[in-house]
Amino acid sequence: MQRPNLAARPFEDRRPVWLTAAALGAAALALSFASIGEFVSAHGAERSLTERLTRLEKRRKELGATVDSTNRELQRVNWSQLRLESESLGKAFAGRSFSWSELLLDLERVLPWDTRLTSVAPRLREDGEVEIALVGLAAGRDGWLRLLARLFADKKFSNPMPLSEEAPASTGGLGYKFQLRVRYWPEGRP
């Protein structure tokens, strides 16, 4: 048996639709507030970046003016004269830093007992290298050759190059006269 419907209209349950609409409205409202917050934050960041860009542009113009004035001053410099002066100062500084006492002690250490030096002439090169021209007398040829061997073996000398050798019979002197050139390393060979 069928029951009679006493309602004027059929009953429809609209609560799920209203709940869904309310939830969607709340989500839309929350997302709108989040978007507004991000917009305000981005706008503030944009404003600070614009101010920073303005400051940097001003600083760039100031530096450009400084560079231009410095370039004008540098154009007035006589570069060849400056190079010559700096080279002469470098040579003077290298000459002052050279230690004669250390050189003479190192030469005395390698010099055989029967060999004497009559001239020691160091020459400082631009690259900081020291080259020494030595002139001396040896009692015999073996003393002169011992000096060469000791110069080869020592850590503060390198590349000894004999320039000349004269026997006592040809010069009428007291011993072998020799000349040589050697590279000197005050701190030891690299």
Q: Is residue 3 part of a domain?
A: no
- What pLDDT sits at residue 126? 65
- What pLDDT sits at residue 90? 66
Cα dihedral value 89, 91, 93, 94, nearest 10: 160
Task: Say yes or no: 109 and 173 in one domain.
Answer: yes
CB 152 within 8 A of CB 166: no
DSSP calls for 39-87: HHHHHHHHHHHHHHHHHHHHHHHHHHHHHHHHHHHHHTS-HHHHHHHHH
Q: What is the mean pLDDT of each run of 10 residues along the chain (190 residues)?
A: 69 83 92 90 89 93 92 84 76 65 88 90 77 90 88 90 83 79 83
What CATH number does the domain containing 104 carry? 3.30.70.2830
Task: Say yes or no: 169 and 106 in one domain.
Answer: yes
Residue whose structure tokens are 């020459």: 123
- Give the containing element (helix H, strand E) for 117: strand 115-124
Task: Say yes or no: 69 and 107 in one domain.
Answer: no
Domain count, the chain: 2
Cα dihedral value 54, 60, 61, 66, nearest 10: 150
Q: Is residue 190 part of a domain?
A: no
- What pLDDT sits at residue 22? 92
- What pLDDT sits at residue 1? 65
Contacts of 158 (CB under 8 A, 6+ apart): 182, 183, 185, 189
Where in the sequence is the domain holding 55, given as residue range(s)?
19-76
Q: Is residue 2 part of a domain?
A: no
- Give the containing element (helix H, strand E) for 31: helix 15-75
- What pLDDT sits at residue 26? 93
